[in-house]
Amino acid sequence: MLFRRARGLLLRFVRRRALASAVGIALAVPGAWIEFSGRASAWWIEGLALISGATGLALLWTGVSGTKPDWIE
């Protein structure tokens, strides 16, 4: 039941394109900064930056291009 609610929350979130783009930028910029600056000394910081950057780029792409239908009629 918890996963259904989380999935529904995520799907409703990405339908709001402006909000998804803003959160995507907010996640991608610090992730890219940590990855490309080379100052992170701990392995888990680099991993967290990769996850944050990838999630941010995915949200940004969804905000820019919009959601695609699951089927074509």
- Residue given tokens 């996640």 in the structure block: 27
pLDDT tens digits for 16-27? 999 999 999 999
Q: Is 30 a member of any domain?
A: yes
Q: Label residues 18-39 b or e (16+ Cβ within 10 Å = b).
A: eebbebbeebbeebeebeeeee
Contact 13, 55 (CB under 8 A): no
Q: Is 6 a member of any domain?
A: no
CA distances from 38 to 32, 33, 68 (A): 10, 9, 36
Question: How much is the pTM?
Answer: 0.81
Q: Is 11 a member of any domain?
A: no
Calculate what percentage of the chain has a pLDDT beyond 90. 66
Number of folded domains in the chain?
Answer: 1
- Residue given tokens 């909000």 in the structure block: 19
Q: Which domain holds residue 45?
A: 17-64
